[in-house]
């Protein structure tokens, strides 16, 4: 059964069509980097699939079903910049939100839920910050908390929008280790990624996107000079020659 299948998806902001003819079928257990120039529609693709932005046409199926029926199996780490970090809550509560799909919105978390959330913070090296207001965390620490929230959800399919932007080398290593562990656990992970230099190291699959899918498949087949240049336009200097 397909983890995620997208057929003929298109989307726009008012009259500006930003995605068209998007078709793909995600391989279970893959770790995919979604790559493309600024404005290519990478974030929009995630938002449309997750029904956070309406589609114009097409169909998205999760585990052969609808998002509504499979929501607890789907995790999302939005772009850090898109979140209101002044919201008065602490790191532990942010992680507990990852469990709400399972414990229900109107139920208080119990001791076991809190233990799970603490374990997840621990995995991301953030246990000491559990009581800290999220506005008082650094950008990299906020990103680690977001990852902890995704982990506690124990989803089968994860979408992450630029989790490595603005983090230091240690946090990047910690986040990538977490993503690789998710893959080792049989999870499917799709990550919007900007750094072309690390694509081959980090991802076993690559989706090249520029308003439509330029190519999608195994990294060694897809991440070629020709295909990357097609995606970015002729101006890109191929990094292996740099
Ligand atoms: N809320 C919005 N209202 C109107 N247009 C938008 C909105 N969000 C994005 N767009 C436009 O849609 C297009 C795709 O944007 P999107 O953020 O999905 O691209 P992206 O590939 O994630 O870019 P980046 O690499 O710069 O983050 C862009 O042309 C952008 O200007």
Asked if residue 90 has its Cβ within 6 Å of ligand 1, the reply is no
Confidence of residue 105 (pLDDT cuts 50, 70, 90): low
Tell me which of 71 and 127 has the higher pLDDT.
127
pLDDT at 82: 78
pLDDT at 97: 85
Q: Which atom of ligand 1 is closest in space to residue 192's alpha carbon? A: 22
Confidence of residue 223 (pLDDT cuts 50, 70, 90): very high
Q: For residue 162, how far is its CA from the centre of ligand 1 (angstroms)?
A: 14
Q: Which atom of ligand 1 is closest in space to residue 44's alpha carbon? A: 18
Alpha-carbon gap, residue 212 to 22, rounded angstroms: 5
Q: For residue 193, how far is its CA from the centre of ligand 1 (angstroms)?
A: 15
Confidence of residue 106 (pLDDT cuts 50, 70, 90): low
Among 40, 162, 231, 233, which is best to mutate for testing ligand 1, by the most ligand atoms less than 8 A from CB? 40
What's the chain's average pLDDT?
91
Q: For residue 19, how far is its CA from the centre of ligand 1 (angstroms)?
A: 10
pLDDT at 197: 94
Asked if residue 44 has its Cβ within 6 Å of ligand 1, the reply is yes
Q: Does residue 148 surpass a pLDDT of 60?
A: yes
**Tens digit of pLDDT for each residue in 61-104?**
999 999 999 988 999 988 887 777 778 889 999 999 888 766 66
Q: Does residue 195 surpass a pLDDT of 80?
A: yes
What would the mean pLDDT of 37-65 be, rounded to a whole number? 95
Annotated domain spans of the chain: 4-241
Asked if residue 54 has its Cβ within 6 Å of ligand 1, the reply is no
Pick the CATH number of 4-241 from 3.90.550.10, 3.30.1370.100, 3.40.50.150, 3.40.50.300: 3.40.50.300
pLDDT at 229: 93
Q: What is the pTM of this model?
A: 0.91
């Amino acid at each position: 059964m397909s983890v995620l299948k997208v057929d003929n998806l298109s989307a726009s902001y008012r009259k500006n069509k930003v995605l068209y003819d998007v078709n793909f079928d995600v391989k279970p257990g893959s770790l995919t980097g979604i790559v493309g120039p600024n404005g290519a529609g990478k974030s929009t693709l995630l938002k449309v699939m997750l029904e956070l932005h309406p589609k114009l046409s097409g169909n998205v199926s999760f585990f052969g079903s609808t998002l509504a029926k499979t929501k607890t199996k789907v995790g999302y780490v939005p772009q850090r910049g898109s979140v209101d970090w002044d919201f008065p809550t602490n790191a532990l509560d942010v992680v507990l939100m990852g469990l709400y799909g399972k414990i229900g919105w109107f139920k208080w978390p119990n001791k076991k839920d809190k233990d799970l959330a603490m374990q997840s913070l621990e995995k991301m090296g953030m246990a000491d910050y559990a009581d800290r207001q999220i506005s008082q965390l650094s950008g990299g620490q906020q990103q680690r908390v977001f990852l902890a929230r995704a982990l506690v959800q124990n989803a089968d399919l994860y979408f992450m929008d630029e989790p490595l932007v603005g983090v230091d080398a240690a946090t990047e290593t910690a986040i990538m280790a977490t993503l690789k562990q998710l893959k080792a656990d049989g999870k499917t992970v799709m990550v919007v990624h900007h750094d072309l230099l690390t694509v081959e190291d980090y991802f076993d699959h690559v989706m090249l996107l520029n308003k439509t899918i330029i190519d999608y498949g195994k990294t060694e087949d897809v991440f070629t000079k020709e295909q990357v240049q097609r995606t970015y336009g002729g101006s890109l200097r191929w990094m292996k020659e740099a």
